[in-house]
Amino acid sequence: VIQRPPALEKLLEILRSLPNVGPKMSERIAFHILRMPEDKIRDFIDILEASHAEVRPCPICGHWDDSSPCRVCQDPSRDKTVLCVVENSQDVQAVSRIKNFKGIYHVLGGTLSPLEGIGPDDLQITSLLKRLETEPIQEVILATNSDMEGESTAQYISKQILSVSAKIRGNGRPEGIKITRPAQGLPSGGELEYMDELTLTHAFDGRREFDRN
């Protein structure tokens, strides 16, 4: 086997450390980068530096933004009584596409995952509970993914909120905080024959009376 230049080996190694980049893909990306003209690689490096320096998690909600607090937390038009808890910043982006939701957010930074050694202290749960004590939040939407990790993370947070609510009640804060979770069921355009059992079960359990108008 022909020895490779150490600089190329290092490039391949760091590319392989990126999420979902395997050995074959790291090679393709590496040679793409090597072939970039001088000004393009300069751009690439400038963008890496600028984004890494400017974009940081919001100290209040954890959403990644270039202003601090983030533009969502600073937006006076938002409904500060409804808080949507999500796993990561990309989810904030996704939820923000829902026209009917104009509340605020809290980014956990992941989900509980005993297998990967991620416990409650690795997520932004304490800061969430603090916010419930100090901010006028009336409803918490637990919008973690509808997979096992997301489900059990929602369960865990819900219990924590209930115990905090009990404390808050003594401090004169409004009695209960409403805890909700997005509906589960058939995705839009979903064909019954291709749905898994769990999705069908949720869809049937959550069925509603048909609106005949």
Residues engaged in binding a second copy (CB under 8 A): 1-8, 10-11, 14, 18-21, 25, 27-34, 36, 41, 43-45, 47-52, 54-56, 64-67, 71-72, 88-90, 92-93, 96-97
Instruction: Give the span between the Cα atoms of 93 and 71, in whole angstroms.
Output: 12
Secondary element (H or E) of residue 15: helix 6-16
Q: Between 58 and 154, name the residue whose CB sits nearer to a second copy.
A: 58
Secondary element (H or E) of residue 180: strand 178-180
Instruction: Give the span between the Cα atoms of 32 and 132, in whole angstroms.
Output: 48
Question: Considering the complex, what minimum distance in angstroms separates the CB of residue 94 from a second copy?
Answer: 10
Q: Between 35 and 212, name the residue whose CB sits nearer to a second copy.
A: 35
Instruction: Give the list of residues 6+ apart from residue 61 with CB closer than 8 angstroms, or none.
Output: 69, 70, 72, 73, 104, 105, 106, 107
Q: Between 105 and 161, name the residue whose CB sits nearer to a second copy.
A: 105
Computed from CA positions of residues 197, 199, 203, 205, in that sequence, does the dihedral angle turn out positive or negative?
positive
Q: Between 64 and 129, name the residue whose CB sits nearer to a second copy.
A: 64
Q: Between 19 and 114, name the residue whose CB sits nearer to a second copy.
A: 19
Question: Considering the complex, what minimum distance in angstroms separates the CB of residue 134 from a second copy?
Answer: 23
The answer to whether 66 touches 51, Cβ cutoff 8 Å, is no
Question: Considering the complex, what minimum distance in angstroms separates the CB of residue 20 from a second copy?
Answer: 6
Question: Considering the complex, what minimum distance in angstroms separates the CB of residue 116 from a second copy?
Answer: 15
Instruction: Give the span between the Cα atoms of 8 and 27, in whole angstroms.
Output: 9
Question: Considering the complex, what minimum distance in angstroms separates the CB of residue 25 from a second copy?
Answer: 6
Pair of tokens at residue 23: 């050995």
Q: Between 45 and 166, name the residue whose CB sits nearer to a second copy.
A: 45
User: Which is nearest to 138 in space by CA: 96, 182, 104, 92?
Assistant: 104
Question: Considering the complex, what minimum distance in angstroms separates the CB of residue 10 from a second copy?
Answer: 5
Question: Residue 103, Cα to own-chain centre: how many angstroms?
Answer: 15
